[in-house]
Amino acid sequence: MSVPALEVSGVSKDFGRIIALRDVTFSVQPGEFVSILGRNGAGKTTLLNIISGVSRPSEGTVQLFGTNPSDRENKAKLAVISHEMFLYGNLTALENLEYYSRIYSVPDAQERIETVLKDVELTHRRFDLVATYSRGMTQRLTIARALLHEPSLLLLDEPFTGLDQHAIGMLITLLKRQKEMGRTILLTTHDLHTATALSDRYLVISKHKIVKDGLIVDTNPDKIRQAFFSSEVEEGVS
């Protein structure tokens, strides 16, 4: 097999009084679409922070395409979509995208910006300040921004929360296209339906550990539900 896109081995995040992750191990092959399921506070966001090189694990290692995630080349291959917009309200859509394309040294930036704007159907509003956008439009622009530098690995942290129907449809279409292009995608969610509909594989995080790792194709959705909900119930007890 080729070099895995992502290899997480024995990762714990445990700082002072905070325990966020315990001995998490898994790897993701290039082109895979993996959903990470778990309740809020289970450690999903911490895991994504460690994978994206923003946070350091207290133990264990993470390898992105065979190297350290905080390497600059790796950060350029990465995109994060979360509830945070990563956009400036006082700039127009075009200015926002131009700014990020310079930071990420996107080749043929103008062309690329036009493409992503068209993908999220915002071309007609590109000269307007982002602050004047509706919530749904801002979220679409967030997606455009993330895809701007054609990342090889997409990290999506609860991307569907708060999206309107139109934006959800658009994000799903775009994600499917990214997958066809061979991009690796990691998605955290607490929504089972989107996870089963989109991904090849799922991981269930509960109590800061991975409790389940299975393929969607050979697993009955009910079984995932079981794994997912049983962990929910246990957490509910304590």
Q: Which is nearer to other proteins, 183 or 201 (CB)?
A: 183
**Cα 82 versus chain centre, distance:** 7
Whose structure tokens read 């959705």? 221
Tell me: does residue 229 bind other proteins (CB under 8 A). no
- For the record, the structure tokens of 143 come out as 């997606």
Nearest alpha carbon to residue 3 among 79, 63, 47: 63
- The residue within the footprint of other proteins, chosen from 52, 178, 188, 199 (CB under 8 A), is 52
> Token pair for residue 176?
């499917």
Strand, coil or helix: 174: helix
Q: Which is nearer to other proteins, 74 or 189 (CB)?
A: 74
Q: Which of residues 71-130 bind other proteins (CB under 8 A)?
A: 72-76, 78, 80, 82-91, 95, 99, 102-105
Q: Copy the structure tokens of residue 194.
A: 């989107």
In whole angstroms, how close is the CB of 172 to other proteins at the nearest point? 23
Binding-residue total with other proteins (CB under 8 A): 38
Q: At its nearest, how many Å lie between other proteins and the CB of residue 197?
A: 27
Q: Is the dihedral of CA 96, 98, 99, 105 positive or negative?
A: positive
Residue 236 near other proteins by CB under 8 A? no
Contact window for other proteins (CB under 8 A) among 11-19, 24-32, 120-128, 190-198: 11-19
Q: How far is the CB of 201 from other proteins (least distance, A)?
A: 24
Q: Which stretch binds other proteins (CB under 8 A): 70-78, 160-168, 177-185, 211-219?
A: 70-78
**Is the CB of residue 159 less than 8 Å from the CB of residue 191?**
no
34 within 8 A of 199, measured Cβ to Cβ: yes
Tokens of 83: 């509830």
Q: What part of residues 192-211 is at the interface with other proteins (CB under 8 A)?
A: 207-208
**β-strand pairing of 153-157 with 78-81:** parallel
CA pair distance 18, 13, nearest whole angstrom: 8
Q: Which of 3, 10, 25, 54 binds other proteins (CB under 8 A)?
A: 54
| Three-state DSSP class for residue 83 | coil
Smallest gap from residue 223 Cβ to other proteins (A): 24
Phi, psi of 61, rounded to the nearest 5 degrees: -135, 155
Q: Least distance (Å) from other proteins to the CB of residue 79?
A: 8
23 sits near other proteins (criterion: CB under 8 A): no
Q: What is the contact surface with other proteins in residues (CB under 8 A)?
A: 15-19, 49, 52-56, 58, 72-76, 78, 80, 82-91, 95, 99, 102-105, 207-208, 238
